[in-house]
Structure 1
Amino acid sequence: MPERRTGSEPYQGEVGTGGAGTGAAGTDETRMGGTGTDGTGAGGAGTGEAGTDETRMDEPLLDIGEVARRSGLAPSALRFYEKKGLVEAAGRHGLRRAYRPDVLERLALITCARGAGLSIAEIHRFLVARPSDADLRAGMTARADDLDAQIDRLTRLRDSMRHAAVCTHEPIVDCPDFKRAVGGVPTATPRPTST
């Protein structure tokens, strides 16, 4: 049994559990259910470090079907990402995987990165990266430069398509405005005409 202390003496080394105060160093009164001087202790009413962790653990988990619905991904994609270490299930609802709500943010990042052309391996490395990873930083800079070039090409292509949608030139591809809009977008090599 713990040593009996006075109500005014701080109780060290045990997380309080009573009343509103659940800090890591609350008074005996707080620990036994009272409010002490302010009823908060070091952690307050679940707002200190311990309180934050408890709040996170108490968050309701999302069933894999709910995560799939909210993210727009198939359950098979979620299982694949989990197998590759990109996401992690926090438990199960019966036989079905369950995830913490913040998995939706992780999935949005993964979807964005996949749309930009990053491989699963590249995404995984990015998700576990630390500031000291100089090689990764260099790779990310090079990838960002590639994306800038891709954005430039797609922007020109978008502008050319918008013009083509309302152009009356015969044929559209010979329209000077269309050609200016398409700019540097590579064109297909003309096929030789049969004789």
Structure 2
Amino acid sequence: MRQVRESDSGTLKGTSLGIGEVALRSGLTVSTLHFYESRGLIKAFRSAGNQRRYPRSILRRLAVIKVAQKVGVPLADIAEALQALPSERTPGVRDWRRLSRHWKQSLDERIHALTQLRDQLDGCIGCGCLSLKACPLRNPEDDLADDGPGPHFRD
């Protein structure tokens, strides 16, 4: 770690980390960090020598990203949520609570949908999809009938 002046403004950016240091400390690959940056999840600045540098707070942000991914939050949702966090400081307990409340609701909805799928799957396995009209997974409430006669499938 070292102090680096941000190349645009010349202001002291504070203790910063190089991309290799961030990768090592976060357990992520350099290519993953580049990917996250391209998706707007994290942000680097350039040193006077044009090296990519990160504030130390990036480690907390990466921890939040990893936890959110582990519980199944899509990257697009993570990126949207992280935009609400201040970039100049490390996310704190209140920030995490706000994010987790939103994600908890989304996860509860997904858990409910997966539970329904699991519970209905037993009936589907035996049918061989010979009765698409009655299949609760492929044609709930026979709404494919509106597409006319013959087989119709949803993605």
For normalisation by structure 1, the TM-score amounts to 0.40
The structure with more strand, counted as a fraction of residues: 2
Rg comparison, structure with higher value: 1
